[in-house]
């Protein structure tokens, strides 16, 4: 668009605006861009954006003593950028820079931060306290520099607490969750909402239980007064996904639950990039809201109100989203969706056998196992399903097994051996099997995950657009539905919503 005005004197400005917008969309490359174009018209604005995005990266850059851009950074008059330049020579810069706001405003000293850093709990609570202090500012440049704090909260949530809790998944609860024993309500809240992708299902449930233990006296709705609704949608979505929403809502007055409902489901159409995901989050919560006495009708009315608002404003994306949500809500409320599905939603796509067949009429499955004790037991159960020599033939090498049907529909199943997890031999077997299939141009149309939730990230790396059926047999596989849909949008998905079980997932 900017190039269209090349004949006008303003074309240079328009071009620079376009370049600025492109560069800030990839903030990791801001310094690299400014090295090549130090005289860029909006260099100062890019630097301030880079400070907000990752001040540690700027400090590391300044430590390299590069001429040119370093001079521009050090000569900038912005007090926050000046503090980054000053702290770049401090050996504790990575621990200090999340506090760029109070340091620049002289409300906190480097000595006070380093003293707190001697204790994991004290340092983490200082991060949370600082975020709470500054997040409610309505104006001023200081409102721009919360990202470093949020990133530090996530980083320390993982390194101080979540990684340890995940690793101790086989330990007794008092040992597993000992690291969070002395944390406050808001501390646990930020751990939960900052580590959504990293939490094991059992880790989330244990943290949720300890969050709720803080409400022996006050009502549970006081949680959002404490955190000022920060990360609100994250929390509600996670509660819905992990089936803790009914319990959470039952601990507050009905009027409060309705207020949360309105905040959660209103105006999802405002962002076309996230609208569908928000609609899925709302649909996740239906069972939870529906199980709270008296809330069902209020929920339905709120959905209808949003639909009518979008209708009157000719907001077609919103009309479509809320229209579908109303239909799905009816299905949940009636508790007999099988009989109502076609009449409510129209004829949904079914997974026809022909869609799964390759040019030879075969259906190819890929089953991935992991080398812990549970994975080995699950693998043995899996092989027992194919014992009949009249129906199946099994061949094996050092890395995987191949199972072929001898009658009926031609099916070929590939499954890696659950080799030593500690040496990552299970992952090597999976990689070798995937390479073998690529060499043969055998594209699996069915992908099956058999492992814990913390193995799922590895399985999803093997997901291809050709996959039409994905079975995620692990705790909380439901939380990966969007990850599957982004890679293979045509895939049908079978998942566990909360705790998985070998006796359910293996068959």
Mean pLDDT, the chain, integer: 85
Q: For residue 24, give Cα distances in angstroms to 1, 34, 50, 283, 399.
A: 18, 12, 8, 34, 45
Give the model confidence (pLDDT) of 33-55 as tens digits.
988 898 899 999 999 888 888 88
CA dist 19 and 361 (Å) reads 51
Answer yes or no: do 405 and 469 share one domain: yes
Query: Is the model's pLDDT at 289 over the cut of 60?
Result: yes
DSSP string, 429-497: HHHHHHHHHHHHT---SEEEEES-GGGHHHHHTT--TT--EEEEESTTGGGGHHHHHHH-TT-EEEE-S
Answer yes or no: do 242 and 385 share one domain: no
Query: Is the model's pLDDT at 301 over the cut of 60?
Result: yes
Q: For residue 488, give Cα distances in angstroms to 44, 371, 484.
A: 41, 27, 6
Answer yes or no: do 307 and 395 share one domain: no
Domain membership flag for residue 33:
no
Q: What residues does 402 pair with on adjacent strands? A: 395, 414
Domain termination site, one of 345, 361, 378: 345
Which of 446, 504, 431, 447 minimizes the C-alpha distance to 474? Answer: 504
| Alpha carbon 212 to its chain's center | 23
Give the model confidence (pLDDT) of 51-74 as tens digits.
888 888 888 888 877 777 788 888
Answer yes or no: do 306 and 249 share one domain: yes
pTM of the model: 0.68
* Mean pLDDT confidence for 282-299: 71
User: How big is the chain, counted in residues?
Assistant: 507
Domain membership flag for residue 444:
yes
CB within 8 Å of 470: residues ≥ 6 apart:
446, 447, 448, 449, 463, 484, 488, 491, 492, 493, 494
CB 363 within 8 A of CB 414: no
Answer yes or no: do 419 and 479 share one domain: yes
Domain termination site, one of 297, 326, 345: 345
The confidence score (pLDDT) of residue 142 equals 46
Query: Is the model's pLDDT at 88 over the cut of 90?
Result: no
Answer yes or no: do 289 and 372 share one domain: no
Domain membership flag for residue 168:
no
CATH value at residue 448: 3.40.50
Q: Give the pLDDT band of residue 397 (cuts 50, 70, 90).
A: very high
CA dist 290 and 294 (Å) reads 8
Domain membership flag for residue 405:
yes
Domain membership flag for residue 145:
no
311: containing domain: 233-345
Answer yes or no: do 288 and 363 share one domain: no
Domain membership flag for residue 76:
no
Domain membership flag for residue 491:
yes
Domain membership flag for residue 186:
no
Answer yes or no: do 366 and 482 share one domain: yes
Answer yes or no: do 417 and 294 share one domain: no
Q: Give the pLDDT band of residue 234 (cuts 50, 70, 90).
A: confident
Answer yes or no: do 338 and 255 share one domain: yes
Q: Give the pLDDT band of residue 19 (cuts 50, 70, 90).
A: very high
Answer yes or no: do 338 and 445 share one domain: no
Which of 263, 259, 271, 260 minimizes the C-alpha distance to 318? Answer: 271
């Amino acid at each position: 668009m900017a190039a269209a005005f090349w004949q006008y004197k303003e074309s240079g400005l328009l071009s620079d605006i376009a370049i600025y917008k492109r560069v800030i969309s990839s903030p990791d490359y801001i310094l690299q861009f400014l090295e090549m174009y130090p005289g860029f018209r909006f260099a100062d604005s890019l630097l301030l954006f880079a400070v907000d995005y990752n001040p540690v990266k700027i400090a590391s850059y300044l430590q390299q003593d590069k001429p040119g851009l370093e001079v521009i950074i050090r000569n900038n008059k912005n007090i926050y950028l000046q503090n980054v330049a000053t702290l770049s020579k401090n050996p504790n810069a990575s621990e200090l820079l999340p506090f760029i706001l109070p340091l620049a405003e002289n409300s906190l000293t480097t000595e006070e931060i380093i003293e707190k850093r001697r204790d994991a709990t004290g340092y983490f609570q200082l991060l949370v306290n600082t975020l709470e202090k500054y997040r409610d500012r309505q104006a001023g440049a200081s409102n721009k520099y919360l990202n470093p704090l949020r990133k530090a909260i996530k980083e320390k949530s993982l390194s101080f607490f979540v990684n340890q809790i995940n690793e101790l998944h086989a330990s007794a609860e008092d040992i597993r969750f000992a690291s969070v024993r002395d944390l406050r309500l808001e501390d646990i809240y930020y751990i939960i909402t900052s580590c959504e992708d990293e939490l094991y299902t059992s880790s989330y449930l244990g943290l949720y239980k300890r969050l709720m233990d803080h409400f022996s006296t006050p009502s549970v709705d006081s949680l959002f007064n404490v955190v000022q609704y920060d990360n609100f949608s994250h929390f509600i979505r996670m509660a819905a996904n992990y089936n803790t929403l009914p319990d959470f809502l039952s601990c507050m007055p009905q009027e409060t639950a309705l207020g949360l409902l309105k905040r959660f489901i209103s105006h999802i159409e405002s962002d076309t990039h996230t609208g569908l995901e928000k609609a899925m989050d709302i649909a996740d919560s239906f069972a939870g809201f529906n199980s709270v006495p008296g809330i069902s009708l209020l929920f339905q009315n709120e959905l209808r109100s949003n639909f009518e608002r979008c209708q009157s404003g000719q907001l077609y994306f919103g009309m479509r989203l809320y229209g579908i949500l109303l239909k799905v809500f009816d299905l949940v409320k009636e508790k007999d969706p099988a009989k109502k599905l076609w009449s409510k939603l129209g004829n949904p796509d079914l997974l026809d056998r022909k869609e799964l067949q390759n040019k030879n009429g075969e259906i190819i499955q890929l089953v991935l196992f992991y080398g812990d004790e549970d994975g080995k037991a699950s693998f043995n159960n899996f092989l027992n399903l194919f014992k009949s020599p009249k129906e199946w033939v099994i061949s094996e090498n050092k890395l995987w097994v191949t199972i072929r049907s001898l009658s009926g529909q031609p099916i070929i199943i590939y499954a890696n051996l659950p080799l030593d997890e500690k040496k990552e031999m299970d992952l090597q077997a999976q990689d070798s099997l995937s390479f073998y299939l690529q060499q043969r141009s055998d594209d699996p149309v069915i992908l099956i995950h058999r492992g814990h939730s913390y193995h799922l990230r590895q399985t999803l790396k093997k997901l291809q657009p050709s996959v039409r059926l994905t079975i995620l047999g692990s705790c909380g596989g439901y939380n990966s539905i969007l990850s599957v849909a982004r890679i293979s949008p045509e895939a049908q998905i079978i998942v566990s919503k909360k705790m998985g079980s070998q006796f359910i997932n293996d068959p």
